[in-house]
C-alpha cells in the first residue's frame, strides 16, 4: 500500500498500514459532505466490494481542540480495536462496516454500507401504517439481539430513530452501534441535535455513587430502555417528551419515573404496550432482554435462540 507517513499531507490523519485501512481503495464521490451528524460529517465514496464498484458511506469524526496530547492516537487505537469486532458482524438488520479511511480529515472515517433510503423516522412519514411500523420495530429488535448476543456483547449506547436506517427494500438497519462508548463528547466538535437524554436510561443519567465505575456505564439493559423510547418515537411520529423543550425537564421527568403517554396505535395493541412499559422500567433488572423481546414479538423461538447460542460457540 502507498506510504502515507510523510507529513506533507497536512490535516491528514496518519497511521500505520493495516488490513482495516481502506484509504487508498476509496474513491471520493463528490466534493462536499452529504450530511452532518452531531459529531461527524457524512461523505459518499466508492469501494470495490466482491469485484463490484459499490457506493459506501464515510462517517468522518469531527475533532475539536483537546487538552489530551495523545487524544488522536488513543482514539485511533480504540477504534481499530472495535473495528476488528465490527468487521466480523453480518446481519440484515445491522449496518455493514468495511474499515477505515484516514485522508478525509484529522480524525478517522468509518467506511459503512451506503443506504440510499432515509432514517426510520423519515421513512415512516411516508409509510405510516401500523403494520409497517410494527415490522420495523421488530427488525430493530432483531438487530439489537444480534449485537447483544456477541461475546462480549456489543452495546449500542445511542439507539434512537436517527440511528436506524432503512434500506432500499424498506427494512430497518441499526447503525452507529458502539460509537457512544468510544466518543467522549468533550473531545469532539459538536453540532447541536435533539438531546439524546430523551432515549437515555435513568441509571445512565444518575449512576450509582461509585468512584470505581467509569461514567457513563452503558449496558444491554440501558439499550433496552432506548429501544422502548424508539418504539414510542416510531409509533408516535415524534421524539419522546416532545412537549418538553428543555433537556433538563426531560432528565428530571425520566429520573422521577415519568414516561411519555403511549399513543393509541400502541395502546390498542396490549402485548406491545406491555412490552414497551416493561422495557422502559425504572429498574433495569425488570427490563426484558433483546432476545425475550424478539420472542414476545413472535420473531424467534426458544429453539432458534438455542441454535444461535450454539453457533456463537462454534468456529466461523
- pLDDT for position 18: 57
Looking at residue 15, its pLDDT comes to: 40
What does the pLDDT read at residue 210?
66
Q: Give the residue ranges of the chain where pLDDT is below 50.
A: 1-17, 190-194, 314-316
Q: What is the pLDDT of residue 8?
A: 33
What are the DSSP calls for 96-156, one per residue?
Answer: -EEEEESSSSSS-EEEEE---S-BHHHHHHHS--HHHHHHHHHHHHHHHHHHHTSSSPPP-
Among 118, 185, 149, which residue's Cα sits nearest to residue 291?
149
The reply to whether 120-312 shares the fold of 23-113 is no
Q: Where are the domains of the chain?
A: 23-113, 120-312
Q: How far apart are CA 155 and CA 218, in angstroms?
A: 7
* pTM, to two decimals: 0.87
CATH H-level, domain 23-113: superfamily: Phosphorylase Kinase; domain 1 (3.30.200.20)
* pLDDT at 53 (0 to 100): 93
Q: Smallest Cα–Cα separation from 173: which of 232, 119, 219, 134? A: 119
What pLDDT, on the 0 to 100 scale, is given for residue 311? 63
pLDDT tens digits, one per residue of 247-266: 999 999 999 999 999 999 99
* Residue 215, pLDDT score: 57
Looking at the domain that runs over 120-312, which CATH code has it been given?
A: 1.10.510.10
Residue ranges at the known binding site: 59
Predicted pLDDT of residue 296: 96
Give the residue ranges of the annotated binding site for ATP. 59
pLDDT in tens, 34-80: 988 777 899 999 999 889 999 999 999 886 556 677 888 888 899 99
pLDDT of residue 312: 58
Amino acid at each position: 500500500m502507498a506510504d502515507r507517513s510523510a507529513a506533507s499531507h497536512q490535516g491528514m490523519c496518519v497511521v500505520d498500514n493495516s488490513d482495516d485501512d481502506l484509504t487508498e481503495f476509496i474513491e471520493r464521490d463528490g466534493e462536499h459532505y452529504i450530511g452532518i451528524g452531531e459529531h461527524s460529517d457524512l461523505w459518499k465514496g466508492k469501494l470495490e466490494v466482491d469485484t463490484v464498484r459499490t457506493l459506501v458511506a464515510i462517517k468522518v469524526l469531527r475533532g475539536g481542540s483537546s487538552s489530551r496530547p495523545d487524544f488522536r492516537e488513543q482514539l485511533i487505537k480504540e477504534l481499530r480495536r472495535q473495528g476488528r469486532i465490527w468487521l466480523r458482524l453480518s446481519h440484515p438488520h445491522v449496518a455493514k462496516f468495511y474499515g477505515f479511511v484516514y485522508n478525509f480529515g484529522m480524525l478517522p472515517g468509518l467506511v459503512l454500507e451506503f443506504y440510499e433510503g432515509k432514517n426510520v423516522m423519515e421513512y415512516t412519514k411516508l409509510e405510516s401504517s401500523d403494520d409497517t411500523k410494527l415490522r420495523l420495530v421488530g427488525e430493530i429488535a432483531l438487530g439489537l439481539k444480534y449485537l447483544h448476543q456477541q461475546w462480549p456483547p456489543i452495546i449500542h449506547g445511542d439507539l434512537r430513530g436517527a440511528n436506524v436506517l432503512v434500506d432500499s427494500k424498506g427494512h430497518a438497519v441499526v447503525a452507529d452501534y458502539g460509537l457512544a462508548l468510544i466518543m467522549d463528547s468533550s473531545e469532539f466538535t459538536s453540532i447541536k441535535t435533539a438531546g439524546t437524554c430523551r432515549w437515555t436510561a435513568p441509571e445512565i443519567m444518575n449512576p450509582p455513587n461509585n468512584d470505581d465505575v467509569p461514567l457513563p456505564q452503558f449496558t444491554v439493559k440501558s439499550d433496552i430502555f432506548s429501544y422502548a423510547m424508539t418504539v414510542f418515537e416510531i409509533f408516535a411520529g415524534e421524539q419522546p417528551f416532545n412537549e418538553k423543550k428543555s433537556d433538563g425537564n426531560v432528565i428530571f421527568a425520566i429520573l422521577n419515573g415519568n414516561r411519555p403517554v403511549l399513543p393509541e396505535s400502541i395502546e390498542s395493541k396490549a402485548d406491545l404496550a406491555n412490552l414497551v412499559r416493561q422495557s422502559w422500567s425504572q429498574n433495569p433488572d425488570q427490563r426484558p432482554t433483546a432476545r425475550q423481546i424478539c420472542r414476545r414479538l413472535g420473531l424467534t423461538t426458544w429453539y432458534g435462540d438455542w441454535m444461535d447460542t450454539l453457533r456463537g460457540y462454534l468456529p466461523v
